[in-house]
Amino acid sequence: MKFFVDSADLDQIAQLNDVGLVDGVTTNPSIIAKSGRDFKEVIAEICALVEGPVSAEVTAIKADEMIAEGRLLRKIAPNVCVKLPLTMDGLTACNKLSAEEVPTNVTLCFSANQAILAAKCGASFISPFIGRLDDINIDGLELIEEIRTIYDNYGYETEILAASIRSVNHIKECAIIGADVITSPPDVIRKMADHPLTDKGLAAFLKDWEKTGQTIL
C-alpha cells in the first residue's frame, strides 16, 4: 500500500520522507489556504522534495478552464498530478487530460457510482472520502470495499486513494480491504508506530542493558 501525506507542511513531509514513508502528497484548496503559502510555490517545493505524485487541485468550475489550469499546474514539475472534482465538468477534464497522459486524481468521491465514472474517464486515482462519510453516519470504509470489488470486477486500472483519513484504524482497514493508496495527515501516520507494549518493553530492555555496563559504539 502506498502512503501519501495529506498536507502542504514542508517540514512534516520532509520528516516522514526521511523515514521512508512518503510515496506521494495530496493537497486541496483548504490545505493550501491553511499553509498561508503561495499555491504554485509550495507545490514546486513539495515536488522537489518527494519523488512520487503530488496532487494539486484545480479551482475552475468549467471543464475548459479546468483543463487550462491542469496544463499550467503540470508545468510546475513532472510529478504534479492534476486533482479534479467529481462533477461532470471534472470528469470531462479528466477524460481530456488523461488522453494527454496527464496524471489525474478525481476527488470528492462519495459513492461507488461516482468511482465508476472516474475510472471510465481514465482517472489515475479516485479519492473516496472516508472521514466525511463517517461524519454523516455513512460507513466510509464500506465505500472503499465497494469500489475495490467493482474495480476488480472490470480490471479498472484507476488506483483507489483512500482519503479523509481520521484514524489509524482507517488505515489498517484500508490495507485489509486492499486500497491502493491512503492519504493521511502526518500525525495519523506517526501514530501507527505507537504501542504501549513497545514503550514498556523498550524501557525494560534499556534498564537491563544499563546493568551490564556495556556500550555498542
| Residues in contact with ligand E4P by the rule CB under 6 A | 6, 26, 28, 107, 127, 129, 131-132, 163-164, 183
34 is catalytic: no
**Minimum CB distance to ligand E4P smaller for 28 or for 158:** 28
What's the min distance (Å) between Cβ of 6 and ligand E4P? Answer: 5
Cβ of 162: how many Cβ atoms within 10 Å? 31
Cβ of 149: how many Cβ atoms within 10 Å? 12
From the list 75, 83, 120, 207, the catalytic residue is: 83
What's the min distance (Å) between Cβ of 146 and ligand E4P? Answer: 18
- All three cell numbers of 87, joined, read 462533477
- All three cell numbers of 176, joined, read 485489509
Cα separation, 76 vs 78, whole angstroms:
7
Question: What element of type H or E holds 1?
Answer: none
**Minimum CB distance to ligand E4P smaller for 122 or for 140:** 140
What's the min distance (Å) between Cβ of 199 and ligand E4P? Answer: 28
Cα separation, 25 vs 48, whole angstroms:
12
**Minimum CB distance to ligand E4P smaller for 95 or for 105:** 105
- Residues marked active site are found at 83
